Amino acid sequence: MEATELCILMFSICASGTLIYSTAPLSTLSHFSQSFLMGCVVAGVTFLIIRSPFGRRTGAHFNPALTLTYFFLGRIPRWGTIFYILSQFAGAVIGVFIAHEVIGERLATPPVCYVITLPGSYGRAVAYVVEFLLSGLLMGVILFTTNRVRLINLTPFLVALITVFYYVFCSSLAGFSVNPARSFSSALFASVWRSVWIYFLGPTSGMLFAALIYVRTAGGRAVYCAKVFHDLESSCPFRCRLAQLMSQENVR
């Protein structure tokens, strides 16, 4: 299921990127308009994946940095973490492969180039800082909302909103990734590995830092589950303590 989620996400990114950046009249729009359209498409797909039956079942990680952070928080066992991450990378690669088979050379040639993520004109340092900060913000929002019963249903909306913000204001600085599997799959097919370390280290360190801050402020036991969206009905594959959180809320 995690592999399928990444496959759908990467296919959507490749398809929308090809349509927006290499197909008239969308290719003639301003950079702001193109970034906004991309952000809306990716945000919409992300929202649907999170709310889908697969997303409800797996917790809708579809991001190795997110899974690794929840492992650090003690909510996912070691083998579960390994298989989640392997599935995410595999799904991302399959998604780009299917996109290439469907779209053809337009996906491979400029200006699309498999929608690779590269640092902007301000250089690698700025790109790393942007990836670090935006990934940390995303993780912080997820932790804050998913560990409060009254805010759980808001998580998919906020993740989608942040995604649009990323694309509009930050894609020119860092290429927008916040997901190692997303950047890896594009780099693999484009054979462009320049600065790919930014998109592994930036999201992972940013999310881990946000988790560390959350634990320091809210307490080590304030992370009740590893699901990005818990519908309170689907079975949970993690070390879930959401029932305890709900009982506390009922007492209050």
pLDDT tens digits, one per residue of 99-155:
999 999 999 999 999 999 999 888 999 999 999 999 999 999 999 999 988 898 899
Instruction: Average the pLDDT over 204-220 and give the result.
Output: 94
| All domains in the chain, ordered by first residue | 2-242 (1.20.1080.10)
Q: Taking 90 as the threshold, does the pLDDT of residue 51 lie above it?
A: yes
CB-count burial class (<10 Å; 0-12, 13-18, 19+) for 93: buried
Alpha helices in 147-197 (DSSP H): 155-174, 180-190
Predicted confidence at residue 19, as pLDDT, reads 95
> Confidence band (pLDDT; 50, 70, 90) for 27?
confident
Model confidence at 247, pLDDT cuts 50, 70, 90, reads low
Average pLDDT over residues 192-216: 95
Where residue 248 falls among pLDDT bands split at 50, 70, 90? low
Over residues 141-198, the pLDDT tens digits come to: 999 999 988 898 899 999 999 999 888 887 778 877 899 999 999 999 999 998 999 9
For the chain, percent of residues with pLDDT exceeding 70? 97
What is the mean pLDDT of the segment spanning 48-77? 95
φ, ψ of residue 175 in degrees (nearest 5): 85, -5
State the Cα–Cα distance between residues 58 and 76, nearest whole angstrom: 12
What rounded mean pLDDT belongs to the chain? 91
Tell which residue, 66, 242, 59, has the closest CA to residue 250. Answer: 242
Whether the full predicted model's pTM is greater than 0.75, yes or no, is: yes
Contact 120, 172 (CB under 8 A): yes
* Mean pLDDT of the 13-40 span: 92
142 neighbors 63 (Cβ within 8 angstroms): no
Summarize the confidence of residues 57-71 as an average pLDDT. Answer: 96
